[in-house]
Structure formats: C-alpha cells, structure tokens
Amino acid sequence: MKSFTTITTNIATDLNQWLTKEAKREDVTKRALFEHVLRSFQMAKEREEYAEGFRRMAKDKAFMKEMHELVECDMASYAKQLKKFD
C-alpha cells in the first residue's frame, strides 16, 4: 500500500490552471496528475544520470581495456561451446 505525505506549496496561477484543466480532461485528480508529472521528471533525471555514468565509463581507459579483455575471453568461451555442435 502506498503511503502519502502532505505537502503545501504555492505554484504559479497559470500552472494551477493548466493542472486543473488537464486533470479534468484526463479524468484524474490534480494530485494524481501532479504525481505523474513528478514521476516522469524523476525518471528522466535518473535516465540522464545513468547515461552520464556510461559516458564516464567510456572515457575510463583502464575500465574499457578490462571490459575489452572480458569480452574477448567470453567470446572465446562461447566459440568453444559452439564447436561442440559441429
């Protein structure tokens, strides 16, 4: 079961009007729409952080060398397994 925390905030009038209009159009509560928008923002930020981590790893020469060696080793093992079927 979800737990909820109450927050009180002031938002720009135009955003509140948009939130009200969209909530009615989507037939959801303003709280549900606000939560959906925040979750979407959260997911976008997490994707950005994940992508940035990969960019940092790609610049790490030692890490990339180690990964290359690991892939070569695994490919050799895979090739051995395939030869069993010849």
Using CA atoms in the order 58, 61, 64, 65, what is the torsion angle rounded to 10 degrees?
170
pLDDT per residue as tens digits for the range 6-33:
888 899 999 999 999 999 999 999 999 9
Per domain, the residue ranges of the chain are 13-83
Q: For 5, what's the count of Cα atoms within 13 Å in the CB-facing half-sphere?
A: 2
pLDDT per residue as tens digits for the range 30-86:
999 999 999 999 999 999 999 999 899 889 899 888 888 888 887 878 777 778 787
